[in-house]
Structure 1
């Protein structure tokens, strides 16, 4: 019997697909991910199911759309009854662990209702999104009450960095001209090097911890979710990565004055956010984007170190490597900062999969144009582990046929994403109730349509306007297209897997045989 493959599930935070060399960026250096793509399959049209950390990650982990699992935004608790990757892989004999970030908020009310201890046994796994928390670190706000037991802070203390929160004071702060400590949360400081040595930075530390887990796991098949915090803000890179790129290495902003003048009311409200107003200024982009690129190259360098470690241990030939991101970053494109909306810069994600086994040779080195979604990873992992498919819960599909170079005839011809922006200032600007601050996206080969409650939709003709600079959502000549796209959204909403406790196959077996099962309906 063939050995079950290990699964190394790597996620960067807020990394755009087009900020990797293998995805066409002309100046960034990412040789290790480029080699991974050359030896695997690079998906050119992969999409997040929610363009924000929490909602996107919960879709990755559950294999379900954000509309289905409900935890669509940061700190929205994931229902206790939702299954995640660990629930699917542990019965197959896998050790399923986390090193890094999940952004998962536990359903503590559900724990209390059922009398489950969230601090031990199955309760601990459920509280940690189904992962064994080998090292969990979601990132800390500078004014947050710091957990004194946070491993990275304790480790930094042991390396000679004093204070209760060296994560902020050293790893994400810089020094001014007079030696004063300047917080990396202020983007004006992004051009300066972090106060921490590169070897002690978050990215280096999490890579080390991943190697420690792999060593400890030994011969047991494992799935490790290595989830890096960077290049997500604070946009602060350690030397030498802080100075690796200059403003001449960044790409021009994808935006026009006409786009701003004719903006959809919802997009216009997001353009008024502080991060958007700042990223609209060239001086901000020229200071922040080189740091973002430096953080990305640093990540790539440490992945090269990790990939070499797998080879040295002789397990790279039985380890499937998945690299992706939870969402993108506008960086000033479309006059926007952050994410939350559905332009390609925000919702399209990198997805590179290297399956070293011969079964994937047909797709090796290919750029796969088939639509992929974040929810495809959980069913892919289950497939690779040899488990039985769970279509009553999982809304994605295994990518295994595409890795073999075989596109199923019934593969999807559209992708979907949805968003809750109730906690964003735009909701107040727009005068929306919390329940109405929702948005739904459908993207087909040619069209991208975004539905907003109580406001006009967005429509982009990607065939003629791939940069998404011309909104046709209110154009009278495109009502037929909008109607067709609304129909696709309605079809999608009706087909969500909300009945998760019994599968279609069992229902089908029970159909029409009530008498055999002892139920006599209407018998004379």
Structure 2
């Protein structure tokens, strides 16, 4: 059986905006069917609640502090092993179709004499993926890098400096004027481009073309949709599929604004939070967000039908997830970046077609999962050996197969807000703009350098409306979780060239190498050699 991997990621999809996750109005039958085929991890968290760092953790299997790409636009340094580095030697053609948010380490390549345009340079610049089709979107003209989708639209006769901007990301007024999708007042209008030529169907088509091109050779395809990330605009018929009556009640309270943590207060002041505090914005944006998800769901149905028809679904590990969520006004916030569940918790569905996974098929699994678990899962699925000195996550296959294995007690996530206005409003040094979340399944602790911690009890307060970090009665809980964080931070994050097993195998090799340190005479050396070569150091 071929060992294929279909790694589907949506951009900015909340964990709770799926039918199978309990949304009362949003219909996602095809994604729900995936959950029935496999298992849904109900408590999955990203390693950083923003696109670039989160994706770099997915692609390296390493925490943000380990790979060093701490914010959008901060390159993943040369030398970090990525998905292609781990899966290529196992015989998988590892390709990208869609978004990565990868920024190449040009300075590092230059220092090492690597031409960014060479074969190895291209791989380093694209997270180790073969680029089948890259579509990052999200940028007005001129695009920062060539876009296959832009070329596709031009080939269909869509004009303008940037056809994505003028067609897929714009609506049309009554008099034919172009209405920008960046403006949220236009979110209720259909995009100018026909649905069949919009981003999500285009990316699905290109994914199917890759699978056909791969033939019988094993592959890992990263199918990475740029939606439902803003700009919040969707083509007909999805633009008016949902309305204000389908909007979930806001999860926020006046108490959150009465005496907030300084960082929460600073984020409430950001423009993207202020705009989502307005009811008319939510009434326009959230139905469009739901329409974008419905469109993705239909394309998942199309893709799964293709895999079933070709028989590939029987030999393909399928993952459906997101790189982070979207506040949509909850907690008086917009965008993502802090650690409430709407931001840091993600949907995670894994379909293992092997008979061993029948034990959990259709179930909801509650162990704490992290984004960094996917790459070890892929290596495991492809028959590779575990490499825990490099990959800091854990394979999910034992959980999917009903095995009772030791598992983590906490999930860790990190964020660097130095490039946000919050740093300036709080007058924080760049080096101190660090946040670390530790979540043990009940208590969510957030370390904020230079400030008191935040603390939420998700058992008593599942909506995270009451920050207990300043309450003396919970100082012990904060201290317990801070100690867990500190122990994690002190662990090895950078020794990737030699494994623990290799170190154990070497032991004390001085004497075997002829280096006799600490001996009085030859008799002591002979005794040490008879004992197995341990010099006693």
The residue aligned with 1:520 is 516
Per-residue displacement from partner, 1:136-173 (whole Å, max 9, x unpaired)? 121141143465x5221111111121123110100011
The answer to whether structure 1 residue 454 and structure 2 residue 462 are counterparts is: no
User: Does structure 1 retain, via aligned residues, the 8 Å contact 2:143–2:162?
Assistant: no
Q: 2:360 aligns with which of 363, 370, 381?
A: 363
In structure 1, the partner of 2:125 is: 127
- C-alpha distance in 1, partners of 2:25/2:322? 20
Any residues of structure 2 matched to 1:46-195 within 5 Å, and which? 46-145=44-143, 147=145, 149-195=146-192
1:380 aligned to 377, 381, 386, which one?
377
Contact 1:241 1:297 in 2 (8 A): yes
User: Cα–Cα, structure 1 residues 467 and 366, in superposed 2: closer, same or farther, change >3 Å?
Assistant: same
* Residue 339 (1) aligns with residue 336 (2): yes
User: Is 1:433 aligned to residue 429 of structure 2?
Assistant: yes
Task: Identify the residue that residue 491 of structure 1 maps to in structure 2.
Answer: 487
Distance 2:204 2:495 in 1: 39
Counterpart secondary structure, 1:19: coil
SS at match of 1:18: coil
CA distance in 2, matches of 1:61, 1:403: 21
After TM superposition, give the deviation of residue 497 of structure 1 in Å.
2.4
Deviation at 1:120, TM superposition (A): 2.1
Once the two structures are overlaid, the 10-residue window that deviates more, 497-506 or 16-25, is 497-506
Q: Please say which of residues 321-330 and 113-122 is displaced more in the overlay.
A: 113-122
CA distance in 2, matches of 1:19, 1:156: 30
> SS of the counterpart of 2:423?
helix
Comparing 244-253 and 120-129, the one that deviates more: 120-129
Shift of 1:459: 0.3
By how many angstroms is 1:498 displaced? 1.3
User: Could you tell me how far 1:370 is from its partner in structure 2?
Assistant: 0.5
Q: Could you tell me which residue of structure 1 aligns to residue 533 of structure 2? A: none
Q: Indicate the SS of the match to 1:283.
A: helix
Question: Deviations along 1:243-275, whole A, 9 cap, x unmatched?
Answer: 000000010010011111121110000000011
Task: Give every structure 1 segment of 4 or more consecutive aligned residues whose post-TM-superposition deviation is greater than 4 Å.
Answer: none
Confirm or deny that 1:396 pairs with 2:393.
Answer: yes
Structure 1 residue 92: Cα displacement: 0.7
Q: Tell me the SS of whatever aligns to 1:498.
A: coil
Deviation (angstroms), 1:406 = 2.2
Q: Which residue of 1 aligns with 2:523?
A: none
* CA deviation profile, 1:164-204 (whole Å, cap 9, x unmatched): 31101000111123221011011111000000000000001
C-alpha distance in 2 between matches for 1:145 and 1:194: 19
SS at match of 1:490: helix
1: CA distance, partners of 2:356 / 2:515: 48
In 2, Cα distance between equivalents of 1:117 and 1:390: 29
Deviates more, 1:494-503 or 1:386-395: 494-503
Preserved contact between residue 78 and residue 109 of structure 2 (Cα < 8 Å): yes
Q: Whole-Å Cα distance in 1 between the matches of residues 134 and 118 of structure 2?
A: 16
Write out per-residue CA displacement over residues 406-442 of structure 1, whole angstroms, 9 at most, x where no aligned residue. 241x201110000011111111111011111110000
Question: Tell me, which stretches of 5 or more residues in structure 2 are unaligned?
Answer: 521-537
- Provide TM-score, normalisation by structure 2: 0.95
* CA drift at 1:523: 2.6
Give me the whole-angstrom Cα distance separating, in 1, the residues matched to 2:257 and 2:142.
Answer: 36
Residue of structure 1 in register with 2:287 after alignment: 290
SS of the residue corresponding to residue 43 of structure 2 reads strand
Q: For 1:482-510, what per-residue CA distance to the aligned partner results, in whole angstroms no more than 9, with x for missing partners?
A: 11111011011112421111111111111
The answer to whether the 8 Å contact 2:142/2:162 transfers is no
- 2:69, 2:266 → 1: CA distance? 24
Query: What 5-or-longer segments of structure 1 have no aligned partner?
Result: none
Q: Deviations over 1:111-133 (max 9, x none)?
A: 00110112122221111110000
**Structure 2 residue 435 is the aligned partner of structure 1 residue 445:** no
CA deviation map 1:441-475 (0-9, x unaligned): 00012100001111121000111001000000111
Corresponding residue for residue 19 of structure 2: 21
Q: For 2:235, what is the secondary structure of its paired residue? A: coil
Partner of 1:503: 499
Aligned residues: 520
Q: How much does 1:517 deviate?
A: 2.7
Q: Which stretch shifts more, 210-219 or 135-144? A: 135-144
